[in-house]
Structure 1
Amino acid sequence: MTRCFDNESVGFFYNNSQKELTSYWRTKDVLVVTLGLTVSVIVLLTNLLVITAIIINRRFHYPIYYLLGNLAAADLFAGVAYMFLMFHTGPRTAGLSLRTWFIRQSLLDTSLTASVVNLLAIAVERHQTVFTMQLHSTMSNQRVVILICCIWVTALLLGLIPSYGWHCLCDLSKCSRMAPLYSRSYLIFWAISNLVIFLIMVVVYSHIFIYVKRKITHMSKHTSFHPRYKETMINLTKTVVIILMPPTHPGRCKGAAMLSVCH
């Protein structure tokens, strides 16, 4: 029978993966935690403002703004996840139970996946509005709610899978050095899944900008276009640019570096 090491300590798996595990606070650890807590607080406050503005302002009660509000909620969740990480990292890692370690990692993975999938949903929504020349989607509120629920179900599934079996507690040879309790196959699957979503977003936004560029070039050669048509095209382009501006989200720049620094 396969032996599982679910009664071992976190340090046991770090030693197995030959990943450094400190027992004292280094200058680097203090700086990372201080910066991480500061960024987390900023993320919490700024995204709370965004969500509040969308809720109280009736002008924002459209599908695109609901999706942007959900993106802010994903960023808010990321702020909570990183704050939890900052209180359970560095020398504290060695004292974590396996359950707490899995919770820490699942929060991070879920928040990043929710953000990436939500960005894809926004890209598809903007693609539909641009090509139908509508500033706001005709999607019903019920469909938006269903879409948002699907986003979070997807994120939770990808984030919680390791806690419920896709780990290396029963096969130490499959343990990853980056996340010593995770199976390498899971990390590869998670990374590829997010990469595929990102590539789809690139294709969608590229299609949008190529279409807009052609339309604007065509409009510049013909003076018979209605001013309303041109105004709509400009407004649609503005919304796409705003969405693509660098967001305040610690999880979107997490990657291997953050995982390796924050034990």
Structure 2
Amino acid sequence: MNECYYDKQIDFFYNRSNNDIVDEWTGTKLVIVLGVGTFFCLFIFFSNSLVIAAVIKNRKFHFPFYYLLANLAAADFFAGIAYVYLMFNTGPATKTLTINRWFLRQGLLDTSLTASLTNLLVIAVERHMSVTSMRIHSNLTKKRVTLLILFVWVIAIFMGAVPTLGWNCLCDISSCSSLAPVYSRSYLIFWTVSNLVTFFIMVVVYLRIYMYVKRKTSVLSPHMSGSISRRRTPMKLMKTVMAVLGAFIVCWTPGLVVLLLDGLNCTQCNVQHVKRWFLLLALLNSAMNPIIYSYKDEDMYSTMKRMIFCFLQERNPEGQPSRIPSMVLSQSDTGSRYMEDNGNRGPACNKSSS
């Protein structure tokens, strides 16, 4: 009968796996990693909060696609929380962790990845529904969108808790991995392969949708009534999603490949010395998404710019005018005019607006 090691500290497993990476997270290297990580985490909290607030505030965004986009921003915000917890429990502090605290540290990271990945998959379903029905937005009700969002987080939390629920090597120490010395190598293989396969499926789905939208738009465009910007909206939304998916795959694939090699027990791959940098690359993804939203979506950029301006205006000393300069409310700035477009005229910055 195999012996179980529930009462051991985490350093027992690190020492047994010959993982000396903990000792290298000291001095200048640790300061650099923590400094860069802190900067990105602060930016993640600010920018993704801005995206969520923009979706709530701008009535143009009250559609299933943007609700799911806000949920993706919430997943990125959660990733920032996971990285903050990691920063306070890494380096020399790793050796002092109990098994449960280490599971929590890794579970938060796994949950954030699964939440982002599942949310992208749900967005693919929503985009497919809207494209096949020849609509800019799908006809999903708010109740169904809410259920989809709950489904995303249930799946994410479950996947993050799987090792804690029993798929670990605490009672089969010979199967422990090197990078995650309490995880079973079989679990690492399952987790990384399932994520990589999901990447591939989503790329195929999004490419098919993209080609379908492009073909239909080119065929129907001469016969469609309405403004040019409205006819281009489906393609603009697809380009936003494709950019987000591309950034996600670029930032997460290297780390997943490294974990897969570790799961396959590749002793010659030298995976330990690149783990920290691939982790920072994954962190970068949560900071990139809000930039992609604002760059690819003019309405999102305009709304975020307006919110920042209003926030700064409220913090300004007395005597400043309450109206936004005309250059901010220019005719080209369509997103900043959403209140007028919806018949809700009012001051440029209104504390009671929602």
Do the two structures share a fold, i.e. TM-score over 0.5?
Answer: yes
Kindly report structure 1 stretches of 4+ aligned residues shifted beyond 2 Å.
56-59, 212-220, 226-233, 243-249, 251-254, 256-263
Quick check: 1:205 aligned with 2:211? no
Aligned position for 2:141? 140
Q: 2-side partners of 1:176 and 1:32: how far apart?
A: 24
Taking structure 2 as the reference length, the TM-score comes to 0.68
CA RMSD after TM alignment: 2.5
Classify 1:144/1:99 alpha carbon distance in 2 versus 1 (closer, same or farther; 3 Å): same
1: distance between equivalents of 2:25 and 2:48? Answer: 34
DSSP-derived class of the 2:167 partner: coil
The correspondence for 1:227, drawn from 225, 229, 233, is: 225
Greater mean deviation of Cα atoms: 1-10 or 154-163: 1-10
Given that 1:167 and 1:181 are in contact with CA atoms closer than 8 Å, whether structure 2 keeps it comes out as: yes
Contact 2:4 2:172 in 1 (8 A): yes
Range that drifts further, 57-66 or 179-188:
57-66
Return closer, same or farther for 1:46/1:245 CA change in 2, 3 Å cut-off: same
Q: Which range moved further: 228-237 or 113-122?
A: 228-237
- Match of residue 260 from structure 1: 275
- In structure 2, the residue matched to 1:237 is 235
Q: Distance in 2 between matches of 1:143 and 1:226?
A: 30
Report the alpha carbon displacement of residue 163 of structure 1 after superposing the two structures with TM: 1.0
2:72 aligns to what? 71
Q: How many residues align?
A: 259
Superimposed CA distance per residue, residues 173-212 of structure 1 (whole angstroms, 9 cap, x where no aligned partner)? 1101111110111111111221222122111111112213
Paired amino acid for 2:42: V
1:15 aligned partner:
15
Instruction: State the alpha-carbon separation in 2 of the partners of residues 134 and 150 from structure 1.
Output: 24
Aligned counterpart, 2:165: 164
In 2, Cα distance between equivalents of 1:252 and 1:110: 16
Residues 94 and 23 of structure 1, relative CA distance in 2, 3 Å threshold: farther
Larger relative contact order (Cα-Cα within 8 Å, sequence gap ≥ 6): 1
Which stretch of structure 1 is more off in the superposition, 109-118 or 239-248? 239-248
Q: What TM-score results when the alignment is normalised by the length of structure 1?
A: 0.90
Name which one, 1 or 2, has greater alpha-carbon Rg.
2
| Distance (whole Å) between structure 2 residues aligned to residue 101 and residue 31 of structure 1 | 23
Structure 1 residue 27: Cα displacement: 1.9
Question: Among the aligned pairs, what percent are the same residue?
Answer: 47
Question: Cα gap change, 1:53/1:81 in structure 2, threshold over 3 Å: closer, same or farther?
Answer: same
Which sections of structure 2, spanning at least 5 residues, go unmatched?
A: 259-270, 280-354
- Please list, as runs of the form range in 1=range in 2, the aligned pairs for 1:1-263 lying within 5 A after superposition: 1-20=1-20, 21-22=22-23, 25-219=26-220, 223=222, 225-228=223-226, 232-246=230-244, 252-253=251-252, 255=255, 256=258, 260-261=275-276
SS in 2 for 1:19: coil
- Cα distance change, pair 24–128 in 1 and its aligned pair in 2 (3 A): closer
CA contact (8 A) 1:81 1:108 kept: yes
- Counterpart residue identity of residue 145, structure 1: T
